[in-house]
Each structure stands twice: as structure tokens, then as C-alpha cells.
Amino acid sequence: MKYKRVAVHREDLDGISCAALILRKAMLEGEEPPEILFLSIREVMEYPETIDLAADLPKGPNVIRNVDHHDSNYQRLLKEGRLTEEDAIDPKAPSAAQVLKTYLGLDGDPIAEEIVEMANITDTGGQTEETIPASKIISVYRKNPDVLLRLAWALAKYGKRYLQDEEIRKLRESIKKDREDRYAYLDRKLSELSNRAKRLILYVSEVPSYARFDIPRLLFSKGAELVALLYNTEHGYRLSLRSAGPSVRYIAEALGGGGHEQSAGALIGKDEKRLLETIGFIAKERGDVLYSEIKKPSDRKESELESVSGDLSVRYYELFVTSLSRFF
Ligand SMILES: [Mn+2]
């Protein structure tokens, strides 16, 4: 192959699909595949040696040719006069893999088409049964180039049937098992909370987002009636209200938000005082609530449900910290 070193974005299926297309091309031509680097955006900008081709990444200073679909990268290269005939950057393409497929002359190859189809789905915000296992593996192993390369090879050989690769299938199973264990643990901890109160306000910023929004469902199955989640966003605290009984919409509306009768929310903003007022307001409207912060354990030993400071003098709620050390 004419490329000795290729870099792809390591963070998502589009990047790994680009690696797979490179390997596919080498496979079909019966050539040695190039070295493949799995890089972050910052890493490609700082990479000290020559990169023959970078895909789904910006054109770092040592990149010779660039295949991409990010408009920001395209605009910057235009402005800097660094776009050459060897680059292929199409801001309208749904994935970099799609641009790369044509670039490498792989149009019509059925496996290449399947790889691009999956990259297109995930890069436009979707997931299917076929893309989920690969996306999960990438999110867990994005800093492990051996695993990413193995996955790229499985895609290059089998397309959508990449789970035919035994090692990849085993990784997928172990991630599943691990997640099931974590959920079982979370479920037990939530039982302890729901035994104390039927109306709960939980600060869940530290809970991984994949599990965060399963919490209301898990609590409702244990008899909870109201679950309010609070978490941080770039715009400040956000409140997400869920009810298994009476409407919560009016509460969200009173706080400047809105939604449905049993599922509503509001943006609280960055002010801590407003956060306390919000907790107090929910308690006043709905009766006693349990406020708990679900946190990663700090330097303390693993603690069960523990009571902390009474210095928050809002008399409507109790404050607990639920330390979920084995969850994180
Ligand atoms: Mn992409």
C-alpha cells in the first residue's frame, strides 16, 4: 500500500470504520497494511512524525492528505490555504468513512458498503442492533489501540457480521456482564433509598449518563411515586421530574420549564441558592422528600447510605449521600 502510516479518530465508529476501510483495501489488493494510529483530535495536531493519511480527523501539521467531513476543519484549511488536491473533505457527507470509501476506490465492494452504512448511522446520531456492540466496545476501549485494531480487522473481514470474530464477541460479552453487575448493584442501592421515602430528589451528576435516566424506572418499580433528578450541564443545573402518580408538569412550569404530566423538566441555572430553593419548592408542593447525592466514593472507605451534615437548614428534606463505589 502506498501509505505507511494512517491516522484515524479513535473515539467513534466512523473513525474505526475508516481504519477498517484501509485494512479492507490492503486485503483486497493483497498488500501489507499500513501502520494505523488511533488518535484524538489533539493528538493528531501534535503528532511529531509524518502521517500519510488522516481520516475523520483534522489535518494536523504533519498530515500529508486528509479525508474528512467536518466543516470546521474544511473552513480552517480553506482559510489557511492548506487544502490540496490530495485532500477529500466533504462537509455534506454523513461520515468520513463514506468519503474514504470513494477515495480508496472501494465503491461497490459489499463489505465496504456495509462498513460505511454503519458509520453513517452512528455519525448522524443513530444506533442499530448492528452498530451498538461496536460502539460499546469503542467507548470502553477507546484508549486501547490493540482492541481498536482488532475491531477494525473484524469489520474489514466480515462487515456487519463483525461479531464472527471470536475475540470481539468475547469483549462484547464481558462488557455486557460487567454492566449487568453494575446495574444489579445500583438496583440494590436504590432499594435502600426507596425504603426510606417514596418521593426522592437525587443529585446524579456523577452517575454515568447511560445509567442516569434508568434511575426513575428502577425506583418506580420499587414503589416510588416521584423522582426528581438534578445534574449539571454547561448551562447549569438541570431538573428532570418523573412521576408515577400526580402531575409534575405544574412544578416544572413554576420553575420556568415544562413538559408532560408525568415527565417534565426545567433548567435551574448555576446558582446554588436556586438549587436549594428548588428542592424546598418540590418538598413544599409534594410533602417530605428524600434528597440524596449519588456520588463516586471519595477518599472515605466504601460507605453504605450515610447521613451527612445537617447544616442545610431546609426542613423539608433529609440529606444523604449514597456512595456507589462499585458502580463506577
Ligand atoms: Mn465522523
> Separation of 266 CA from ligand 1 center, angstroms?
32
> Is the four-CA dihedral 224, 226, 231, 234 of positive or negative sign?
positive
> Separation of 91 CA from ligand 1 center, angstroms?
10
> Separation of 96 CA from ligand 1 center, angstroms?
5
Residue 232 within any structural domain of the chain? yes
> Separation of 13 CA from ligand 1 center, angstroms?
8
Quote the number of domains for the chain: 2
Q: What percent of the chain has pLDDT over 90?
A: 68
Q: What is the pLDDT of residue 307?
A: 38
> Separation of 93 CA from ligand 1 center, angstroms?
9
> Separation of 62 CA from ligand 1 center, angstroms?
20
278 vs 89 pLDDT, higher one? 89
> Separation of 114 CA from ligand 1 center, angstroms?
16
Mean local confidence (pLDDT), 15-44 = 97
| Same structural domain, 158 and 14 | yes
Q: What is the pLDDT of residue 299?
A: 47
Q: Encode pLDDT of 188-200 as tens digits.
A: 888 988 888 899 9
pLDDT above 70 (res 302) = no
> Separation of 159 CA from ligand 1 center, angstroms?
18
pLDDT above 70 (res 327) = no
> Separation of 56 CA from ligand 1 center, angstroms?
5
Residue 171 within any structural domain of the chain? no
Q: Residue 223 — φ and ψ, nearest 5°?
A: 95, 5
Q: What is the pLDDT of residue 320?
A: 53
- At which of 110, 135, 164 does a domain end? 164
- At which of 131, 164, 197 does a domain end? 164
The residue behind cell 501502520 is 35
> Separation of 110 CA from ligand 1 center, angstroms?
21
pLDDT above 70 (res 303) = no
Residue 172 within any structural domain of the chain? no
| Same structural domain, 17 and 156 | yes
Mean local confidence (pLDDT), 228-239 = 93
CA neighbor of 38 nearest in space, from 143, 140, 134: 143
Is the pTM higher than 0.75? The answer reads: no
- At which of 140, 164, 188 does a domain end? 164
Q: Residue 12 — φ and ψ, nearest 5°?
A: -150, 180
Task: Count CA within 13 A, CB hemisphere, residue 60.
Answer: 25
Residue 173 within any structural domain of the chain? no
Q: Encode pLDDT of 82-126 as tens digits.
A: 999 999 999 999 999 999 999 999 999 999 999 999 999 999 889
Measured between alpha carbons, how far is residue 301 from residues 145, 180, 306 in Å? 34, 24, 12
pLDDT above 50 (res 167) = yes
| Same structural domain, 102 and 237 | no
> Separation of 202 CA from ligand 1 center, angstroms?
35
Least confident of 4-18, 156-170, 293-307, 311-325: 311-325
| Same structural domain, 100 and 34 | yes
Q: What is the pLDDT of residue 288?
A: 78
Q: Look up the CATH number of the domain holding residue 99.
A: 3.90.1640
- Give the pLDDT band (50/70/90) at residue 306: very low
pLDDT above 90 (res 322) = no
Q: At CB < 8 A and 24+ separation, what contacts does 322-325 make?
A: 322/189, 322/192, 322/193, 322/292, 322/293, 322/294, 322/295, 323/295, 323/296, 323/297, 324/185, 324/186, 324/189, 324/207, 324/294, 324/295, 324/296, 324/297, 325/296, 325/297
Are 69 and 59 in contact by the 8 Å Cβ rule? The answer is no
| Same structural domain, 134 and 279 | no
- Give the pLDDT band (50/70/90) at residue 275: confident
> Separation of 66 CA from ligand 1 center, angstroms?
13
> Separation of 169 CA from ligand 1 center, angstroms?
24
> Separation of 43 CA from ligand 1 center, angstroms?
16
Are 98 and 124 in contact by the 8 Å Cβ rule? The answer is no
| Same structural domain, 51 and 136 | yes
Residue 122 within any structural domain of the chain? yes
| Same structural domain, 18 and 52 | yes
| Same structural domain, 160 and 207 | no
- Give the pLDDT band (50/70/90) at residue 300: very low
> Separation of 38 CA from ligand 1 center, angstroms?
14
- Give the pLDDT band (50/70/90) at residue 30: very high
> Separation of 95 CA from ligand 1 center, angstroms?
5
> Separation of 263 CA from ligand 1 center, angstroms?
33
| Same structural domain, 196 and 130 | no
| Same structural domain, 49 and 97 | yes
Task: Round to whole Å and give the CA distance between 43 and 184.
Answer: 37
> Separation of 99 CA from ligand 1 center, angstroms?
10
Q: Look up the CATH number of the domain holding residue 209.
A: 3.10.310.30
Residue 129 within any structural domain of the chain? yes
| Same structural domain, 121 and 194 | no
Q: What is the 3-state secondary structure (H, E, C) of the chain?
A: CCCCEEEEECCCHHHHHHHHHHHHHHHHHCCCCCEEEEECHHHHHHCCCCEEEEECCCCCCCEEEEEECCHHHHHHHHHHCCCCCCCEECCCCCCHHHHHHHHCCCCCCHHHHHHHHHHHHHHCCCCCCCHHHHHHHHHHHCCCHHHHHHHHHHHHHHHHHHHHCHHHHHHHHHHHHHHHHHHHHHHHHHHHHHHHCCEEEEECCCCCHHHHCCHHHHHHCCCCCEEEEEEEECCEEEEEEEECCCCCHHHHHHCCCEECCCEEEEEEECCHHHHHHHHHHHHHHHCCEEEEEEECCCCCCCCCCEECCCCCCCCCEEEEEEECCCCC
The mean predicted confidence, pLDDT, of the chain is 88
Range of 200's domain?
A: 180-323
> Separation of 162 CA from ligand 1 center, angstroms?
20
> Separation of 136 CA from ligand 1 center, angstroms?
16
103 vs 278 pLDDT, higher one? 103
Residue 140 within any structural domain of the chain? yes
> Separation of 326 CA from ligand 1 center, angstroms?
33
| Same structural domain, 189 and 158 | no
Are 275 and 268 in contact by the 8 Å Cβ rule? The answer is yes
Residue 170 within any structural domain of the chain? no
